[in-house]
């Protein structure tokens, strides 16, 4: 009797297990059918493997957009223009390498505003250093810079730049800030720290280093090289209250060792230019070349506005040809 009861219990248990399995299978089929329905919640569809996880779709889209951004970045060509003193005084063609009349400067700025999209040197630095696609610059970018820190930059260039909304970076010789022309140190007057602060307050102008004393760096001792770089950095940071991390070398005079001294002194961007550069030697910048070999086009006062635009375009095309040939 007991054996018979045990057999019956086992059979009942087996039937129960089979029933539970059938219920589970039927429930799974029902869930699949529900998930396949258009009104099923997305989480049920994802659990059942019917719908793709939107996070994976978003990640794929973000990766595609990043690749597109990097491809566009590789095609950017950025000319940087260099000006010095603006004057109404007569000057020879030879002197025009660092001089330009107010009328011609306005024509130059108007022309680049029409044909290009001016950006700041800081914008370019941030763009080059970015690798996640979060920073952009417009097509046809161009950058305006000045060397030395002449009073004419404040009195003549600054109002024109404000009117046309063109940003610019001025590399100053800190030992001659505020000096009066003809008084001994300089031939042409330089703007003061107060005037520098006024220009920077506009949001268009940024002041950076052109060394302390405008010397040929390769002719100085290592100790003097360090002093020239660090003193100018200190003076700018003390008087203007922002980091000084860009250096433009006087006379385009530098060596690999000097560039290392600049890095060690806290400079993140280095501009390398030869004041005697001819139009044939002009180059533009591409982001892949980094921020320590920035080249500039020295704009002479003898260049008309139409001629300047033509020179810039030819230089961009030359860079395109060089890079295409290197890619083969």
Distance CA 113, CA 117 (A): 6
DSSP structure string for 94-163 = TGGGSEE-HHHHHHHHHHHHHHSEE--HHHHHHHHH--SS-----SSEEEEEEEE-BHHIIIIIHHHHHH
pLDDT at 11: 58
Higher-pLDDT residue of 179, 280 = 179
pLDDT of residue 216 exceeding 70, the answer is: yes
pLDDT at 24: 45
pLDDT tens string 98-154: 999 999 999 999 999 999 999 999 999 999 999 999 999 999 999 999 999 999 999
CA proximity to 250, closest of 81, 78, 82: 82
Mean of the pLDDT values across residues 239-258? Answer: 96
pLDDT of residue 23 exceeding 50, the answer is: no
pLDDT of residue 229 exceeding 90, the answer is: yes
Distance CA 183, CA 179 (A): 8
Confidence of residue 18 (pLDDT cuts 50, 70, 90): low
pLDDT at 312: 95
CA proximity to 269, closest of 124, 78, 70, 80: 124
Burial zone of 25 (CB within 10 Å; 0-12 exposed, 13-18 middle, 19+ buried): exposed
Averaged confidence pLDDT in the chain: 88
Distance CA 115, CA 310 (A): 11
Residues above pLDDT 90, as percent of the chain: 70
Asked if 74 contacts 288 with a C-beta cutoff of 8 angstroms, the reply is yes
Q: What is the dihedral of CA 253, 254, 258, 262, to 10 degrees?
A: 80
Complete domains list, the chain, with CATH: 2-51 (no CATH), 78-327 (3.20.20.370)
Confidence of residue 326 (pLDDT cuts 50, 70, 90): confident
pLDDT tens string 31-45: 454 545 555 666 555
pLDDT at 5: 47
pLDDT at 57: 84
pLDDT at 314: 94
Residues above pLDDT 70, as percent of the chain: 83
pLDDT at 78: 98
Handedness of CA 149, 113, 98, 289 (dihedral sign): positive
């Amino acid at each position: 009797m007991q054996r018979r009861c045990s057999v019956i219990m086992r059979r009942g248990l087996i039937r129960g297990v089979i029933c539970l399995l059938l219920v589970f299978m039927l429930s799974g089929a029902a869930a699949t059918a529900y998930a396949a329905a258009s009104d099923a919640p997305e989480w049920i569809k994802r659990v059942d493997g019917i719908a793709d996880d939107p996070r994976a779709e978003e990640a794929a889209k973000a990766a595609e957009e990043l690749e597109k951004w990097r491809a566009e970045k590789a095609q950017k060509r950025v000319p940087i223009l260099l000006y010095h003193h603006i004057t109404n005084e007569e000057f020879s063609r030879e002197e025009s390498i660092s001089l330009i009349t107010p009328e011609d400067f306005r024509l130059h700025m108007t022309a680049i505003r029409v044909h290009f999209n001016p950006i700041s040197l800081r914008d370019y630095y941030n763009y080059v250093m970015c690798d996640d696609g979060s920073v952009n610059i417009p097509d046809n970018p161009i950058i305006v810079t000045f060397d030395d820190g002449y009073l004419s930059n404040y009195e003549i260039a600054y109002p024109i730049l404000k009117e046309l909304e063109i940003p610019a970076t001025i590399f100053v010789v800190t030992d001659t800030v505020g000096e009066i022309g003809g008084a001994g140190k300089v031939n042409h007057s330089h703007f003061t720290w107060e005037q520098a602060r006024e220009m920077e307050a506009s949001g268009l102008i940024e002041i950076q280093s052109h060394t302390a004393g405008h010397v040929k760096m390769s002719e100085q001792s290592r100790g003097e090289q360090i002093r020239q770089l660090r003193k100018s950095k200190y003076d700018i940071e003390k008087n203007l209250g922002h980091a000084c991390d860009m250096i433009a070398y006087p006379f385009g005079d530098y060596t690999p060792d000097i560039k290392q001294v600049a890095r060690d002194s806290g400079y993140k961007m280095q501009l390398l230019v030869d004041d005697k550069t001819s139009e044939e030697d002009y180059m533009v910048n591409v982001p892949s070349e980094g921020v320590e070999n920035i080249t500039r086009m020295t704009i002479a006062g003898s260049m008309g506005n139409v001629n300047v635009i033509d020179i810039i375009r030819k230089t961009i095309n030359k860079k395109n040809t060089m890079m295409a040939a290197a890619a083969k």
